[in-house]
Amino acid sequence: MKRMTLILLACPACLASAQTVPGADLMRFPIGYLDRPAALRGDLGSDLGNPANVSFTDSARARLGVAAIQTPSDQGVSAQLIAMSVALRGELAAGITVARVTVDDLFRTDTDPQTFGRKISYGTTLYSATIARRNAGKFSAGLAARYRRGELDDERSGAFGLDAGVLAEHISVRDASAGLATFLFRPGGDKDEPPTVNVAVDARAFGSDEKHQVRGGLAVSIIDRARRERFVFGSARYGIWEGRAGIARADAFGVQEWRGRLGFLLRYGRYVVGFAREENGAGLSPNYQFTLNTIIR
């Protein structure tokens, strides 16, 4: 996952020509799952990482979650997400998600890179509607219909997409989990906007139940042959407290970048509050994420 905002400053017009719908790269920001693998189940119930995550594992009737990411001023990226899902009959669930990512303080530099012209807008909004089903208590599958609209300077365009995902949970005595999902797949879409394939597995290393355990795993996100990310992660939970940590390695066009990630969660009654931090290279300040979700029984 490369976040080279400086490229935008130098050449906004080249991005417009490379992307049929502007802002596809902005959606690579892990909104809502900065400190956990995208393909596995999360507390928000968002369908961005895996549409199967919309399914319910308990007797809750509905779930509502919000998330926000703020990057340092050097990057100027901000992201917000709201997700809602409801339980239906027959182990079915439906959900909607809206995510918005923007880049601030971009200016046109037509001739002299030292002289800033007028401000350029760059951002994208993703709308998702998802249906998911949980079967036999261990397997879930989901399908998400999406519409993404992007803007870059005076260009405005949008496109529909379709993503699918599966989850297998509580496997073997190690309570292992595995997930596989696509993200931003467009049937017949432009080759410059390839979908991301998210894969992840984890298992319990120590502990007696889900409220007292230590887990570890590996996640891989593949965009194309030249771009992928590997994420080695672990978590420890004791009652209402949970800590998460991991290290991600992003490979893009022969360049490697390492990022450390930390997260903390507090589970209090019907609410889960989360805070996460991701280190940046090149002397940049960290990225921060805040999440909040609640369930209705």
Domain ranges of the chain: 5-296
Q: Which tens digit of pLDDT belongs to each residue from 37-81?
A: 999 999 888 899 899 999 998 888 999 999 999 988 878 899 999
What the block records as the tokens of 261 is 């990630």
Between the two ends of the chain, the Cα-to-Cα distance in Å is: 37
Rounded alpha-carbon distances, angstroms, from residue 106 to 80, 103, 120, 133: 19, 7, 5, 43
261-297 exposure pattern, b = at least 16 Cβ within 10 A, e = fewer? bbbebebeeeebebebebebeeeeebbebebebbbee
Average pLDDT, the chain: 88
Instruction: Report the CATH architecture of 5-296.
Output: Beta Barrel (2.40)
Please, are residues 17 and 25 in contact by the beta-carbon 8 Å criterion?
no
241-252 vs 176-183, strand pairing mode: unpaired
* The pLDDT of residue 2 is above 50: no
Q: Residue 189 and residue 280: Cα distance in Å, rounded?
A: 31
Helix (H) or strand (E) segment spanning residue 177: strand 176-183
The reported pTM is 0.86
What is the reported pLDDT for 1?
A: 36
Query: How far out from the chain centre does Cα 158 lie?
Result: 20
Integer Cα distance of 105 and 8 in angstroms: 10
pLDDT digits (tens, 9 = 90+) for 205-233: 999 899 999 999 999 999 888 899 999 99
Sequence-distant (6+) residues with CB within 8 A of 14 are none
Phi, psi for residue 148 in degrees, rounded to 5: -115, 130
Pairing, β 176-183 against β 227-238: unpaired
Q: For residue 83, what pLDDT is reported?
A: 97
Which pLDDT belongs to residue 72? 86
Bridge partners of 78? Answer: 70, 102
Average pLDDT over residues 180-189: 89
pLDDT at 270 over 90: yes
Residue with token string 């340092």: 72
Place of tokens 């703020």: 70
Q: Is the pLDDT of residue 104 over 90?
A: no
- The structure tokens listed for 275 are 């805070």
Q: Using an 8 Å Cβ cutoff, are 194 and 25 in contact?
A: no
Quick one: pLDDT at residue 8? 36
Specify the 3-state DSSP secondary structure of 87: strand
Mean pLDDT of 116-136: 88
Burial label for 254, CB within 10 Å (0-12, 13-18, 19+), is exposed
**pLDDT reading at 110 higher than 70:** no
Instruction: Spell out the residues 6+ positions from residue 253 whose beta carbon is closer than 8 angstroms to its own.
Output: 226, 227
Identify the residue whose tokens are 């319990």.
Answer: 204
Task: Using the predicted structure, report yes or no on whether residue 103 has a pLDDT greater than 70.
Answer: yes
Token pair of 151 as six digits: 């803007």
Q: Is 12 in contact with 120 (CB distance < 8 Å)? A: yes
Contact call for residues 102 and 119 (beta carbons, < 8 A): no
Question: Out of 113-117, 162-166, 223-227, 235-239, which region has the weakest mean confidence (pLDDT)?
Answer: 113-117
Residue 156 has pLDDT above 70, yes or no: yes
